[in-house]
Structure formats: C-alpha cells, structure tokens
Amino acid sequence: QRLAVFLDGPVHKGREDRDEALRELLWKRHNVEPLTIEYERYTKQQVQEIVELILQALEER
C-alpha cells in the first residue's frame, strides 16, 4: 500500500474542505493512503516531530 504525506500549515487555512476532497479522491481512485500532518510553524523541532510521525506511520503499515 502506498502513502501520501500532506503537510498542512497556515497556507491551508480555509481550504480544508477542498484538501479533504482531494485526499479522499486520491484514496478512492489510486488506493494511496493520505497521511495529514498539521503544523503551525516551520521549526527544527516541528520538522523532527513530522519526521517521527511519518516513520511511525510507515512502521504501522
């Protein structure tokens, strides 16, 4: 199974419905599981947390 990672930052505010619809379509048409990670700021600590979440998702597969 394939995994697509989406990083939702401040730029995605107000676009949640559209983004969710596109991710649902990705799953239905291409069987690619979307992993959505929200963040507020781009910091070294936040990057490390994102990497850990991605690795955890891959291990659970």
> Helix or strand or coil: residue 14?
coil
pLDDT of residue 1: 74
Query: Averaged in consecutive runs of 10 residues, what is the pLDDT profile of the chain (61 residues)?
Result: 92 91 96 94 94 95 84
pLDDT value for 31? 94
Confidence (pLDDT) at 51: 97
| Res 42: pLDDT | 86
pLDDT at 11: 87
Q: What is the pLDDT of residue 5?
A: 97
Q: C-alpha 6: how far from its chain's center?
A: 3
Q: Nearest CA to 12 among 39, 30, 52?
A: 39
Q: What is the pTM of this model?
A: 0.80
Where do the structural domains in the chain lie, given as residue ranges? 2-59
